[in-house]
Structure formats: structure tokens, C-alpha cells
Structure 1
């Protein structure tokens, strides 16, 4: 586990407790993964929190599910976090988990294709979709001067190659500290290839 303040640890403890209770009713985390909740999910998400600029910036987390990484980031930073989750039961969990943890978030219970969310400086996602699809969604919510943080696995390079057909972007690869096959992709200056050709 990364070092966090006592206040952050308290918020994360409350979040983990309510997640374990709700997980008995709705599938937020695979039962197989529950023994590894802190190392596989919370610590993985905390890696992104350390990359968020200080201060009250706006952040959009796509497909938040059980709160990874968006609610963990909200527990650990001052970011103004919007969680987009179309599953109504998971959205209800996210609202209750945020209240229990004592953090302010906005939960948008809509599909990513239609969610009405103001552009943010940072867009995040974890275990949601291949990179080309993430870029389709993410650029809807990203300010021109912002960046995306996507947690990816062993197929990251293949996904980057596929995405390069349609997208130009500046790419920084940060090795995951919680998964030997994992990488964090920090993407900025994102624009469609067709946009570039028409300039």
C-alpha cells in the first residue's frame, strides 16, 4: 500500500467496509478478488491519485463500477470528482459509499455516450474497454489542456498501435507498481487523425 495520510486511510477504510457489505447483494468486485481488495483494487487506483495535480481540479472517472479508480481518487485528493456509471444499482452504491467515506462526488447515472458532464482536466478509467473506445468516450469529457490516465494490462502496446490509426496523442507509459504486466497510460494532446489532416 502506498503511504497515505491518516485521514485518507480512514476514508478508504470506510469505503472498503461498505463495499464488502454491498458486494453481498450486487457484484462490485469478484468474490475471488475480495481477499486482495486492498492490493489489487485500492492500491492500484491510488497510483493514479499520486498523479493528480494538487488543488481542486475537475476529474471525470468513466465506468466507475465499484469505485475504482474514481472514488479512491476522491478519498485521496482534493479533486472534484464526477463518477459516470450507467448501472443504477452501482450508481446507488457509489452515492452511499461516498457519503459513508465522507467525500463529495457527483454521480452521473448515464451511459458514457450520452452523459452530460462538463469537460475536466483529468479523465480516468480502469478495466473498462480497449483504448480506441476509451478515447472515443474520454475526449467528450476532456478539456483541450487536460490528460487521460488509463490503467492497462499486458495488451497496452497493441491497443496503442490500434488507436494510432485514428488518434494522435502524446503518450507517457508509467509501469504499474501493483501489477507486473500493468502500465498506466498518461495521454495528452489527443486529437483525431482526420482533425489533424484537415488543419
Structure 2
């Protein structure tokens, strides 16, 4: 089945409306998040300035589409690795009630994430300011990461948070198939490739399962 790409801001907003039926309050929070993100981008480099005119496509819908691939149906902790500008973590938190853990090692970005969560009343969001290696182990229902690390390192670092039912949602741009092919076979079999709705040349790795320590480094 062919996919309809979101090629305008109006198309992105319409798709979000159809896919998630946001309440008026959720629409307002999305708008406020965009305003806060643009304002903060003048202080620290969170997103490319060239993407600001297409915020709804490049950042909001691009993040929200991960929620559309999640099959956990509102169940369990969602961990967003290297959350940075809150993409996709804060967008998912606005559109759902999922408990959300945003992992970010840079203080200024963590300050921004906490400020947005407070401003928007997202009480189900927790921000952890630390390298992933230093975070206490906890089971994740869903793990996402947007531009966090090469795929093999991403999986190795986050393996201890995974369970047999963990859902993995990993946007990997144009390199998704290439990065997947370089993984050990047990990891490869966990994933399939989905086409991004916001970029014809980008793909998302979607998987389910536990990354076992004994799989590491084995082909």
C-alpha cells in the first residue's frame, strides 16, 4: 500500500488531526511547544534554522508518526534517548498520557525540556540529566531515539532497559537499511523497516523484543 507523504504544513496538521484527534488543549500545547522551541533555538542550537518554516512537517508530524507505529496502546514507560529538543519525546507526551522518560546529557537542553514540561503541565514527563550508561535500569515498554547514535551502539547502550515486549521506534533517515544490515543476525531479525511519512528518503526501524547481552558482537 502506498504512503501519502506530508508535503505541507496544512497536510501535517490534517494528518495529526486524523491520526490522533487531539483535544483543543492538546492542539494548544503543540502550538505552545513550537513557540517555546523557536524561542529557545535563538539561545542554543536545538533544530536547524532552515526547518523553522516547516515545523509541523519536519518536527511535529515527524515525531508524532512514531506514536502511530507504537502498538503498546498507552501501556508502560516510554524512554526517549538523546531527547535534545524534545523530539519526539515532548510531542508524544502532548499527544498521549504515556509516562515519558526523556534522557539527555546536556544541561542546557535538560533545562529547556524541564521548562517546557512545566509550562505545558506535562506531569507525566521526567527528564534525566545523565549519560545513558549512568541511568538506573528500568524496564521500558517503548524506546525511541532520533539522531542519538549509530544503530549498533544505540542498541548496545539501551539493551538493559529492554524486555521481551519492548517496542523499538528508531528513525534512521536514509541509512536505515544499511545500519540494519550491519547488525548481528539476532538483532536484525527483531526489526522491520517502515517508510517515513515526512520524507520520501527516510525510514524508521520498528522492532519488538529484548536485546540480550549474549548477542552483542556476534554475527
Q: TM-score, normalised by structure 1?
A: 0.90
CA contact 1:148–1:187 (8 Å) conserved in 2: yes
Give 1 or 2: higher helix fraction: 2
Task: Give the stretch that moved more between structures: 179-188 or 2-11.
Answer: 2-11
CA distance in 2, matches of 1:115, 1:193: 17
CA contact 1:166–1:192 (8 Å) conserved in 2: no
**Alignment partner of 1:115 out of 135, 157, 177:** 135
Count of aligned pairs: 197
The match for 2:184 is: 164
Across the aligned residues of Structure 1 and Structure 2, the Cα RMSD in angstroms comes to 2.1
- The answer to whether 1:66 aligns with 2:96 is no
The match for 2:33 is: 15
Task: Give the stretch that moved more between structures: 50-59 or 75-84.
Answer: 50-59
CA distance in 2, matches of 1:33, 1:179: 13
CA distance in 1, matches of 2:210, 2:201: 25
Q: 1:11 to 1:190 in 2, by over 3 A?
A: same
The match for 1:142 is: 162
Deviation at 1:141? 2.0
- The answer to whether 1:51 aligns with 2:69 is yes
The match for 2:109 is: 90
Deviations 1:29-57 (A, max 9, x none): 11122222221011100001223332342
CA contact 1:82–1:106 (8 Å) conserved in 2: yes
Deviation at 1:125? 0.5
**Alignment partner of 1:177 out of 180, 189, 197:** 197
Q: TM-score, normalised by structure 2?
A: 0.83
Deviation at 1:11? 1.3
Deviation at 1:189? 2.5
CA contact 2:165–2:209 (8 Å) conserved in 1: yes
**What are the ranges of 5 or more consecutive residues in structure 2 without an aligned counterpart?**
1-11
Deviation at 1:192? 4.6
Q: 1:36 to 1:193 in 2, by over 3 A?
A: same
Give 1 or 2: higher strand fraction: 1
List structure 1 segments (4+ residues) > 4 angstroms apart after TM superposition: none
